[in-house]
Amino acid sequence: MDASPLNQPPPDDPPRLGPDRRRLLALGGSLLAAGTSLLSACSVTGATKAGSLGDPDRAEITVWSWQGPAAAMKALVPAFKAQHPGIDVTVQDIGNPAIWDKITTAMAAGGQGLADVLHIGVDYLPAYTEKFPDGLADLGPLGAARYRDAFADGMWQTVTRKGKVNALPWEANSAGFYYRADIFEAAGVDGEALATWDDAIDAGKKIKKKTGVHLLGIDKPASQPDAANFFQMLLQLQGTFYFDAEGRITLGSPEAVIAMTLIKEMNDAGLVSDLAGGWTALENSIKAGTAAVLPWPTWFGSIIEGLVPKESGKWKVRLPPAVKPGGTTAATVNSTHLAVAGSSKHQAAAWTFVEYVLTRPASQEAIYRSNGIAPALLKAYEAPVFHEPSKFFSGQHKGEIFLSALKARSPAVNYSADYARALKTVADAQTQVLLKGADPARALHSAADQLARQTGRELAS
């Protein structure tokens, strides 16, 4: 295995995520709201200027990313350069969310000024590919097809569209269930025994009665665009989303109603604290210990460790309970990818860098050690770092828990170019349910109708 070019902290010093990264992933697709406005408002001034393969062994390429991931790629450049001396790589930290507007503006200008390699979130990828069909190069002819089975389930389907490979998966974050084991124990509840969310609600009632602690928290008035993250996770645990594979709206589906009904039951029972105010409210809640459960993805473990280090040994983590008896507990709830610009004159060299970063286990291990980014590349998990016990999480092998989710079936999700609109519509419906007692089915059917009017999309039958 190649030596890591990154500084490697000892096992008990978990990777820390900076505010930039944690906010990006916490918001999931909410940052898309700003970017989508620009996508909707901009007019394409012309077709994407045709790129070319260029010299695969000699080129100067530019990479656009943001803070943490950009730093991780910069750290890999010296080792990459040693293997590919003719390729000069410049990684630019564009910032987030500035990167989305910058990509959009450049694509609208036919690719003028666009970097060769682009770091793109799963929620932005469909918007770019739908608005700018030639904006991203097809990585299939460059060699991407041989990695079809190398990534977590559903990832290949996420980055391909109509036979075109638009990007290669970087990270894959699975739904998680972080919980205060000491609070569960004080209430006489076995956190590992919760098979369904109905079980979790029953456990929440015991916890609230004996300790006064809520089960979980939600931004009830939808003060932030990501207020429906938990609802979205419950959808994905049932194998569905806001849109089906054909792009039809599924907000009124039986699965959606079940998810919102569960949330209403929790709220009606007094088990949901209010996280109005977004990320700051969430941090304060964790520090104050107002919720026993944090239903957040893989990367969130490092956030908890950083916020409440003195609670080491009091926390545990598992995959979330199933929505239905016997249902799945695995869902990939967010991911990011590297793409090559369709306008790049150095596509072959750009692909070589993408391949080096994303398909080498040594690269992904180094990135995980420095930034805590959970790889979509399954072979990367053979590294010992993913199998070390976590002192903070009561000696559990956290990496193995989430690896089991990545190995499970997790259908690809169609975010579509209208994800931001769906987020807003769903968050508003959830607010009606939580603060005004609206019927979940009626609220969701109304939301589906509204989204159909806004987007011109059909409703799924």
Contact in structure between 331 and 174 (CB atoms under 8 Å): yes
Note the pLDDT tens digit of each residue in 394-450.
Answer: 999 999 999 999 999 888 889 999 999 999 999 999 999 999 999 999 999 999 999
Which pLDDT score is estimated for 47? Answer: 61
Q: What is the pLDDT of residue 409?
A: 86
What is the predicted pLDDT for the residue at 78? 98
b/e 89-116 (16+ beta carbons within 10 angstroms → b): bebbbbebbebbbbbbebbbbbbeebbb
In this structure, what are the phi and psi dihedrals at residue 218, rounded to the nearest 5 degrees? -140, 145
Question: What's the CA gap between 269 and 428, in Å, rounded?
Answer: 21
Q: What pLDDT is recorded for position 33? A: 46
Task: For strands 87-93 and 59-65, give the pairing.
Answer: parallel
pLDDT at 35: 47
Paired tokens of 229: 């993250």
Residue-wise pLDDT for 358-386, tens only, equals: 999 999 999 998 888 999 999 999 999 99
What's the pLDDT at 38?
Answer: 52
- Measure the CA dihedral 327/333/338/344, to 10°: 100
Q: Phi first, then psi: what are they for 401, rounded to 5°?
A: -60, -45
> Residue 356 CB: number of other CB atoms within 10 A?
20
Q: How far does Cα 455 stand from its chain's mean position? A: 24
Tokens representing 235?
């959808």
Side chain identity, residue 240: T
286-311 pLDDT, tens per residue?
A: 999 999 999 999 999 989 999 999 99
Is there a cis peptide before residue 97, judged by omega within 30 degrees of 0? yes
Sign of CA dihedral 271, 277, 283, 289: negative
Q: What pTM was estimated for this model as a whole? A: 0.88
Strands 59-65 and 117-121: parallel
3-state secondary structure the chain: CCCCCCCCCCCCCCCCCCHHHHHHHHHCCCCHHHHHHHHHHCCCCCCCCCCCCCCCCCEEEEEEECHHHHHHHHHHHHHHHHHCCCEEEEEEECCCCHHHHHHHHHHHCCCCCCCCEEEEECCCHHHHHHHCCCCECCCCCCCHHHHCCCECCCHHHHHEECCEECCEEEEEEECCEEEEHHHHHHCCCCHHHCCEHHHHHHHHHHHHHHHCCECEEECCCCCCCCCCHHHHHHHHCCCCCCECCCCCECCCCHHHHHHHHHHHHHHHCCCEEECCCCHHHHHHHHHHCCECEECCCCCHHHHHHHHCHHHCCCEEEECCCECCCCCCCCCEEEEEEEEEECCCCCHHHHHHHHHHHHHCHHHHHHHHHHHCCCECEHHHHHCHHHHCCECCCCCECHHHHHHHHHHCCCCCCCCCCCHHHHHHHHHHHHHHHHHHCCCHHHHHHHHHHHHHHHHCCCECC
Phi, psi at 289, each rounded to 5°: 70, 40
Is residue 168 a contact partner of residue 139, using CB atoms and an 8 Å limit? yes
Task: In whole angstroms, give the CA distance from residue 87 to residue 108.
Answer: 28
List the beta bridge partners of residue 334: 173
Q: Which residues of the chain have pLDDT under 70?
A: 1-49
Output the CA torsion 74→77→78→84 (10° steps). Answer: -170
| Separation between Cα atoms, residue 450 and residue 443, nearest integer Å | 11
Which residue bears the tokens 């890591």? 4
Six-digit token pair at 143? Answer: 């060699």
Q: What does the pLDDT read at residue 39? A: 53
Q: Which long-range contacts (CB under 8 A, 24 or more apart) does 84-87 make?
A: 84/57, 84/349, 84/352, 84/353, 84/356, 86/55, 86/57, 86/58, 86/59, 87/57, 87/58, 87/59, 87/60, 87/61, 87/349, 87/352, 87/353
Report the candidate in 115, 110, 117, 136 with the shortest Cα–Cα distance to residue 125: 136
